Amino acid sequence: QWEEMLEITRIYSAAGLLRQNLHLGRQTPLIAQRPFRAPHHSASAVALVGGGPYPKPGEISLAHHGILYLDELTEFRREVLEVLRQPLEDGKVTISRARVSLEFPAQTTLVASTNPCPCGFYGDPVHPCTCTPQQRERYWSKLSGPLLDRIDLQVRVNRLKPEEIVRAQGGESSQAVQRRVERARQRQRQRFQNEPGIHCNAQMQSRHLRQWCSLSDPCRKLLESAIQKLALSARGSDRILKVARTIADLEGAEAIAPTHIAEAIQYRSLDRARL
């Protein structure tokens, strides 16, 4: 979208990085691709959210309308990860100084990965884990409950079996997945065409949820059961609705079905104690 490209370009210009992103052969410095940022786990809080003596955008703003990838998530310092909570919720970063207050947009998709424990083999059927329970608890204590509550999809990736590696069968092609995602995004653009500043399901507020995520009685009962059993917060239940709406869009369904709610709940029910 033209408006999104302008926003990204302005952010990189404010950060002094626009010249580094000039596309070869183009007559304009306009950034036409969604950004992908992958800071190292030694990054400081200022590097992630912005600031400094002369405030500049941080990595979360440089990933605006794109992806912020945090590899080895539990290797980041806890105090650094905690500063991401408010920007992930509000989609913006506010930096205040004595004489000036600046606001940078930060509507990004956070993608993170981590090992199940310091040695990396907890729960592995081949290699035994050498970590103590205390070491594993200390390892996961980097991630607070409120931060995990803002991560919509939590998926454990198990080791592939030898026959799965050797006799790997071709699944759905990336091109087919891309077409399905593009159709879903087009449905969302049409849905929010009269809503300024909203382009996709992730940006919905409470009033949009009431309008676009109406639930049948079976869906409502399933969600209520999940809220009770998993002790979900209001934020967590709202995010389940957004994910369920997106799953329905990927299937081309007009209404949210119980299967969509169940799948969205499954993504939020990862128990780190059983990793």
Per-residue pLDDT tens over the stretch 164-207: 778 767 778 889 999 999 999 999 999 999 888 788 899 898 88
Beta-carbon count within 10 A of 252 CB: 10
Identify which of 2-16, 58-72, 122-136, 199-213 has the greatest average pLDDT: 58-72
Burial status of residue 8 (CB atoms within 10 A of its CB: 0-12, 13-18, 19 or more): buried
Nearest Cα to Cα of residue 187 among 128, 142, 231, 246: 246
pLDDT class for 21, splitting at 50, 70, 90? low
CA distance to 8, 259, 269, per residue, from 266 (Å): 33, 11, 5
For residue 192, what are its two tokens?
């929010």
Per-residue pLDDT tens over the stretch 58-115: 999 999 999 999 999 999 999 999 999 999 998 999 988 777 788 999 999 999 999 9
What is the Cα–Cα distance from 247 to 100, expressed in whole angstroms?
Answer: 42
Give 41's Cβ-side CA count (13 Å radius): 13
CA distance to 27, 81, 223, per residue, from 150 (Å): 40, 12, 18
Return the higher-pLDDT residue of 273 and 193.
193
Topology (CATH level 3) of domain 1-114: Rossmann fold (3.40.50)
The domain ranges of the chain are 1-114, 115-151, 174-274
